[in-house]
Copies of this chain bind each other. A is one copy, B any other.
């Protein structure tokens, strides 16, 4: 029987709504823009049921807390803080990538402009900080709260370094596969790792167990990002919420393209490199790009990389030596993230 995530998701949703409730009329639209981004309001600030994202990071946090023997309900403020932090980064990413659509809806900056978009992201991060401090009301001692905060703050720095590399790589003709992994370690794996580690900390785990969970989250994050790269090229737009092969048109340094570029270089070819060197790519170029990716075996390579990282994440999970239904749920959750491409 599939694990029922509803109680966790409901509690997080309740906490998030309380954190982002309008408490002062003068600044209501700031909070309403955040609520819009989270899928609770439409663009005219009327209640709506829009896609909300998977709430993956809060689930990882709460399940880890429970798996190590903690009461997951006490950790809800941290899970909510993590979700807000993740969404702050999405708000800014959308501006940085000029993405006009997220989860099938116009992005905040495309509706209210870049200045308000930047500031709405900043505000969401600020509220995320206050969410962490609510752990004090759940009975955690100051030492434990600071440990959790430190983990999250270190992940924030990593997030920014990953984003820096992602933006810098757009200008680079070629990057190595190591550079790619460094980039996604910051952009994606750091926060997933922190989510599980914070759950374990708040559940009262030993340092060794916390580190094993952090390793699980890190490897899972790498696998997850590679899966995302694969779906960005071959995914179904009605599922991903992005236009077909948008990552190709933007010539992102996603793993499949990167691998194909390296594959060509080794063989003295430069068909894909020549296409990627054009001032811009059009929809007509996509079939050719797909053919070149296929010739290099890029999809297969990326899949195998995702599978390797997922396998390593499961080894970390096993190293915790914990047996608990929530632990099984963590493993199931990890499969659900990667099986989309297996």
Q: Which of A71-121 contact B (CB under 8 A)?
A: 92, 95-97, 114-116, 118-120
A 149-180 binary contact with B (CB < 8 Å = 1; else 0) = 11001101101110111011000000000010
Checking B133, B145, B160 against A122 with a beta-carbon cut-off of 8 angstroms, the contacting residue is B160
Kindly report how many copies of this chain are found in the complex they form together: 2
CB distance from A32 to the nearest CB of B (A): 11
A150's nearest neighbour on chain B, judged by CB, is B133
Is there contact, CB below 8 Å, between A164 and B30? yes
Given A114-B114, A146-B142, the answer on whether A160 and B119 have CB atoms closer than 8 Å is: yes
Q: CA separation between A13 and B29, bound complex, in Å?
A: 38
A 24-54 binary contact with B (CB < 8 Å = 1; else 0) = 1011011000000000000000000000000
Checking B136, B143, B154, B159 against A130 with a beta-carbon cut-off of 8 angstroms, the contacting residue is B154
Q: CA separation between A190 and B60, bound complex, in Å?
A: 35
Q: Is the interface of A mostly helix, strand, loop or mixed?
A: helix
Is there contact, CB below 8 Å, between A149 and B133? yes
Sampled A-B contacts (9; CB under 8 Å): A29-B168, A30-B160, A96-B115, A96-B119, A114-B114, A119-B160, A119-B167, A122-B160, A146-B146
Instruction: A119-B163, A133-B153 given; name 17 further pairs at CB < 8 Å.
Output: A27-B161, A29-B164, A95-B118, A114-B114, A116-B164, A116-B168, A118-B118, A119-B167, A120-B164, A122-B159, A123-B160, A123-B161, A125-B156, A127-B157, A129-B149, A130-B153, A141-B142
